[in-house]
A and B are shown apart, each in its own frame.
Chain A
Amino acid sequence: MAINVSLSVNGQAVSRDVQPNRLLVDFLREELGLTGTHVGCDTSQCGACTIHLDGLPVKSCTMLVVQADGARITTIEGLAPDGDGGDLHPMQEAFRQNHGLQCGFCTPGMVMAGIGIAQRHGLPSNDVIRAELDGNFCRCTGYHNIVKSIAAGAKAMAMTGAKTVAETGGE
């Protein structure tokens, strides 16, 4: 029995009939082709699937699509709509400048989590960043440069007055 859901994804209105047991991450990846959101585990530990739902980072592997009915979703693809050639979001740019990624698989989740950390803490200390990254695994970087990237990204967001996703509605 399919259920109709309507939601906003990266500023675009989306309306689909979905199965009630459809996970949000599978919907994003398979039905919308937004494969930047990754699946790294099956126990909701790794955070590679982190997206923003109504401005807050959540793990899209642990939500049904039907629970996101009416929500505003931002994925990694929606942070810098001109990202193919244009400017990156300050947090993305901070990861680039600080070598905050290696294989890139955890990166979308880390960037989404990092923006959430910046939004909650303004200019977080390294200890705060490390504690807040509790739900995101990286196997490549040892987190050193991720912590550095998030600190730099938070600073850049504060300086540029980058609007939060909640404020912009993901647009």
Chain B
Amino acid sequence: MADRESGIGARVLRKEDKRFLVGRGRYMDDINRPRQVYAVFVRSQVAHGTLKGLDSGAALETDGVIAVLTGEDVAADGLGSLPCGWTIHSKDGAEMKTPAHPALAIGKVRYVGEPVAVVIGETLEAARDGAELVELDIDELPPVTDVVAALEQGAPGIHDDVPGNECYHWGLGDEEAVDKAIDAAHHVTRLELRNNRLAPNAMETRAAIGEYDPVDGMYTLHVNSQNPHLHRLVLAAFVELAPEHKLRVISPDVGGGFGSKIFIYSEETVCAWAARRVGRPVKWTATRSEAFLADAHGRDHASTAELALDKEGNFLALRVRTKANMGAYLSTFAAAVPTWLYGTLLAGQYKTPAVHVEVRAVFTNTSPVDAYRGAGRPEAAFLLERIVEKAAREIGMDPAELRRRNLIPKDAFPYQTPVALVYDTGDYEASLDKALDMADYAGFAARRAESEARGMKRGIGLSCYIEACGLAPSQLAGELGAGIGLFESAEIRVNATGGVKVFTGTQSTGQGHETTFAQLVADRLGLDMDEVEIVHGDTDRVQYGLGTYGSRSLSVGGSAIHMATEKIVEKARKIAAHMMETTADDVDFTQGLFTAKGTNKSMHFKEVAFSAYVPHNYPLDELEPGLHESAYYDPENFTYPAGTHICEVEVDPETGVVDILAFTAVDDFGRIINPTIVEGQVHGGVAQGIGQAMLEHCIYDDESGQLVTGSYMDYAMPRADDLPDFTLAFTETPCTHNPLGAKGCGEAGAIGSTPALINAITSAIGHENIAMPATPLAVWRAMRGAE
């Protein structure tokens, strides 16, 4: 029976954990198919060049090598370009430039790691040996990897059909109003910054197994995907691999995603296609080195910003100019990230009356850049919270008080920002106050004095972030250039004996959906958690769905489950009414029990379910047998999680080493179903945000275009001893437009934490000009004013 121990808001232990803890998770590389062969990709080792030819002779003579397939083979079978699912229009109305993105390179190579050919072998070793022997004949061209350099006159051109390497030049907001306000302002704070490029680094690398059954023409693709139906849709409708009903996509246990497993990549496309070519299942599992080279990276912006303030510290206007690195090709959602997921967030939590942003998206000789945890919103929050902090220091106002003065007040919702969004609800001062209290902000001066007495520099930094989650509604997204709908679906099948299977179109990559969704359903139907099973990750089992990204799974997917559950209750109520000889209006349902008002008659949900499948005493003239409902939920609006993060650090002036002493996060995610799971999401997000601020950086060599940080020897992943314990709390203003009141919690940590930490470091060292990652060397140099 559902109660506070398992109901909404309860700290239920996760249902999925046991299989993971005993080693019975089923991840991609744990899956093998009869007669499978292995794919190894031959990747470009140069960043830019003309692909003149390819010699596969020696490879084909290698023992166990079955085939070497190239871009020409892909084209010969009529497969289309990998599409970008979002179209952006430039300020002048022109559609963005979308160069062809072949699954295997044709004519030119454009980044180190780009797949050029695939070697199929009886064993992985044979395929590897063969791949070593494939010779690429490439005339090298000068590369450009830096987002600013790629726009300069005379920069190497990456695509013939993209002059100047510019994909689009997008704008949002009232330019004239912003210009006027900045020209007339009492004070203008200016900031130039980079948002460093990151590798997503899910611990399970990408992998795929393609299969083809020639008898019925059916493809099956196992791929660790955040959105198996999207994989199916894109591969059917755009790449034209197979008709949608002839393609089944299965996404098993997924070992982390963080955005990187949203996208439809070359490798899974080739595995599915090659399976038909060679007549056997084709398996590929990325090495970590391949993941660094060929997973879509995140961030990589260069921006300037100007914030105008009046004498009292009221924000008047914000102007932002950003250059966003797209990499060599447009990945699946790349175009949307630095536009609708970035520019629209630049109002932040503030009532700044005028904001204008322009973004130039730029092709470079690097791995494609796309959504990575937060996707655009961390870049917006970083820029905004850095310039607000700098402004406070310039005008001599306490940074917390400057923020408070400019917060959108809680009685101003719904609030129309100057950059398109309408925030439905929030109480930003509540999370600010709570965070200040928990972090003992008032006591900071004394702590700083104590550090100084020891020769250490202490700093405290805030960030009041906002994000927009659960991309929606479909119609608006379509108007803004989305190529897909953004609803979610749910199907609930109640068995005759009362157990329930819930089919959701979202996909867990570790967020605990099997628990949170089961809590929703078990709580409503009065069942035990064990009586509710969540099914996801198989396009032949689940009706349809759009997957997990943008912290949408609960607010959108959970809402669909809620709607389907309510339909189950309403049908069951009618059945119960018939059996108790009353009307549905006179039947109550709580804690799994239907009761006829004013009588002592009651029936358990399970009895009603049984009757639905054994309809001997059943209103067959009014109702069909069975207890099985589905729902599609298309949200009215985004949701807007927001909060305050505060970081306190101590910097050793001798070494530049930063010690994070405390990290406090107070977040408003609306209604919370399972606080333990939500806290875990915040922990992980904050760790990634701290990683960005202090450790992580994908570096390409300017001259050669080589990825310098191509392994864990060179790319600094956050380790346990890089991070502090986190102090968390929640405030709650329920989302006003979804039935759960939920806002989403997956990305907030990665959005709020980065600026809080950099603000703390700059507070400690008294120097604003520090690039991320703030390594000890970077901090040491900044303290000495050296570059």
Please give the residue numbers on chain A whose beta carbons come within 8 Å of chain B beta carbons, in ascending order. 29, 34-43, 45-46, 48, 75-77, 79-80, 83-84, 88, 92, 95-97, 99, 101-108, 111, 126-127, 129-131, 133-134, 136-147
Picked from A75, A97, A140, the residue with its CB within 8 Å of the CB of B13 is A97
Picked from B16, B288, B509, B720, the residue with its CB within 8 Å of the CB of A41 is B288
A-B contact pairs, 12 of them (CB 8 A): A96-B14, A96-B17, A102-B512, A102-B680, A103-B254, A103-B256, A103-B510, A104-B19, A105-B255, A106-B203, A142-B718, A143-B687
The segment out of B22-30, B156-164, B266-274 that lies at the interface is B22-30
A101 touches B20 (CB 8 A): yes
**Min CB–CB distance A166 → chain B (angstroms):** 20
**Min CB–CB distance B17 → chain A (angstroms):** 5
Residue numbers in B under 8 Å from A130 (CB-CB): 720-721, 723
A46 touches B23 (CB 8 A): no
Residue numbers in A under 8 Å from B749 (CB-CB): 142
The segment out of B516-524, B639-647, B709-717 that lies at the interface is B709-717
**Does chain A have a CB within 8 A of B686?**
yes
A139 touches B683 (CB 8 A): no
**Does chain A have a CB within 8 A of B719?**
yes
B719 touches A36 (CB 8 A): no
A88 touches B21 (CB 8 A): yes
Beyond contacts A38-B204, A139-B258, A144-B723: 16 other A-B pairs, Cβ-Cβ < 8 A, are A35-B27, A36-B23, A40-B205, A41-B288, A45-B717, A77-B23, A92-B22, A95-B21, A103-B202, A108-B23, A111-B21, A142-B683, A142-B684, A142-B723, A145-B683, A147-B720
Q: Once bound together, how far apart are the Cα atoms of A142 and B663, in whole Å?
A: 12
Residue of A nearest to B30 (CB): A35
Q: Once bound together, how far apart are the Cα atoms of A19 and B340, in whole Å?
A: 54
Q: Which of A95, A104, A108: most chain B CB closer than 10 A?
A: A104
B680 touches A105 (CB 8 A): no
**Does chain A have a CB within 8 A of B454?**
no
**Min CB–CB distance A15 → chain B (angstroms):** 23
B22 touches A36 (CB 8 A): yes
A134 touches B721 (CB 8 A): yes
**Does chain A have a CB within 8 A of B289?**
yes
Please give the residue numbers on chain B whose beta carbons come within 8 Å of chain A beta carbons, in ascending order. 13-14, 16-25, 27, 29-30, 201-205, 253-256, 258, 287-289, 509-512, 676-677, 679-680, 683-688, 711-713, 717-721, 723, 725-726, 749
**Min CB–CB distance B629 → chain A (angstroms):** 30
Residue numbers in A under 8 Å from B13 (CB-CB): 96-97, 99
With A35-B30, A140-B256 in contact, do A45 and B677 touch (Cβ < 8 Å)?
Answer: no
Residue numbers in B under 8 Å from A77 (CB-CB): 22-24
Q: Once bound together, how far apart are the Cα atoms of A139 and B681, in whole Å?
A: 11
8 cross-chain pairs, A with B, having the tightest CB-CB distances, nearest first? A36-B23, A103-B510, A104-B20, A105-B255, A142-B687, A83-B22, A45-B712, A142-B683
**Min CB–CB distance A151 → chain B (angstroms):** 11
With A48-B203, A144-B726, A145-B683 in contact, do A139 and B256 touch (Cβ < 8 Å)?
Answer: yes
Residue of A nearest to B711 (CB): A43
Picked from A102, A133, A144, the residue with its CB within 8 Å of the CB of B725 is A144
Residue of B nearest to A106 (CB): B203
Q: Once bound together, how far apart are the Cα atoms of A141 and B512, in whole Å?
A: 12
A37 touches B720 (CB 8 A): no
Residue numbers in B under 8 Å from A34 (CB-CB): 23
**Min CB–CB distance B480 → chain A (angstroms):** 31
With A36-B24, A130-B720, A134-B721 in contact, do A102 and B511 touch (Cβ < 8 Å)?
Answer: yes
Residue of A nearest to B714 (CB): A43
**Min CB–CB distance A134 → chain B (angstroms):** 6
**Min CB–CB distance B517 → chain A (angstroms):** 16
Residue of A nearest to B674 (CB): A99
A129 touches B720 (CB 8 A): yes
Q: Which of A96, A107, A139: most chain B CB closer than 10 A?
A: A139
Picked from A39, A96, A137, the residue with its CB within 8 Å of the CB of B21 is A96
A40 touches B288 (CB 8 A): yes
Q: Once bound together, how far apart are the Cα atoms of A137 and B684, in whole Å?
A: 12
B725 touches A141 (CB 8 A): no
Picked from A75, A83, A104, the residue with its CB within 8 Å of the CB of B510 is A104
Q: Once bound together, how far apart are the Cα atoms of A126 and B718, in whole Å?
A: 16
Residue of B nearest to A136 (CB): B720
A104 touches B680 (CB 8 A): no
Residue of B nearest to A144 (CB): B683
Residue of B nearest to A135 (CB): B719
Picked from A42, A76, A97, the residue with its CB within 8 Å of the CB of B288 is A42
B255 touches A103 (CB 8 A): yes
Residue numbers in B under 8 Å from A84 (CB-CB): 22, 24
Residue numbers in A under 8 Å from B725 (CB-CB): 126, 144, 147
**Min CB–CB distance A103 → chain B (angstroms):** 3
**Min CB–CB distance A108 → chain B (angstroms):** 5
Q: Once bound together, how far apart are the Cα atoms of A140 and B13, in whole Å?
A: 17
**Min CB–CB distance A157 → chain B (angstroms):** 15
A107 touches B677 (CB 8 A): no
A134 touches B720 (CB 8 A): yes
Residue of B nearest to A48 (CB): B203
Q: Once bound together, how far apart are the Cα atoms of A59 and B253, in whole Å?
A: 23
Residue numbers in B under 8 Å from A108 (CB-CB): 23
Residue numbers in A under 8 Å from B14 (CB-CB): 96, 99
Residue numbers in B under 8 Å from A133 (CB-CB): 719-721
B23 touches A75 (CB 8 A): yes
**Min CB–CB distance A35 → chain B (angstroms):** 4
Q: Once bound together, how far apart are the Cα atoms of A126 and B14, in whole Å?
A: 24
Residue numbers in A under 8 Å from B677 (CB-CB): 99
B723 touches A143 (CB 8 A): yes
Residue numbers in A under 8 Å from B255 (CB-CB): 38, 103-105
Residue numbers in B under 8 Å from A141 (CB-CB): 680, 683-684, 687
Q: Once bound together, how far apart are the Cα atoms of A145 and B726, in whole Å?
A: 10
Residue of B nearest to A108 (CB): B23
Residue numbers in A under 8 Å from B201 (CB-CB): 139
Picked from B24, B27, B680, B683, the residue with its CB within 8 Å of the CB of A38 is B27
Residue of B nearest to A91 (CB): B21
Residue of A nearest to B20 (CB): A104
Q: Once bound together, how far apart are the Cα atoms of A42 and B291, in whole Å?
A: 11
Q: Once bound together, how far apart are the Cα atoms of A129 and B419, in whole Å?
A: 46
Q: Once bound together, how far apart are the Cα atoms of A42 and B293, in whole Å?
A: 13
**Min CB–CB distance B335 → chain A (angstroms):** 26
B712 touches A41 (CB 8 A): yes
**Min CB–CB distance A92 → chain B (angstroms):** 4
Picked from B21, B254, B511, the residue with its CB within 8 Å of the CB of A107 is B21
Residue of B nearest to A98 (CB): B676
A42 touches B711 (CB 8 A): yes
B204 touches A103 (CB 8 A): yes
B720 touches A39 (CB 8 A): no
**Min CB–CB distance B35 → chain A (angstroms):** 16
B21 touches A41 (CB 8 A): no
**Min CB–CB distance B694 → chain A (angstroms):** 13
A105 touches B203 (CB 8 A): yes
B684 touches A140 (CB 8 A): yes
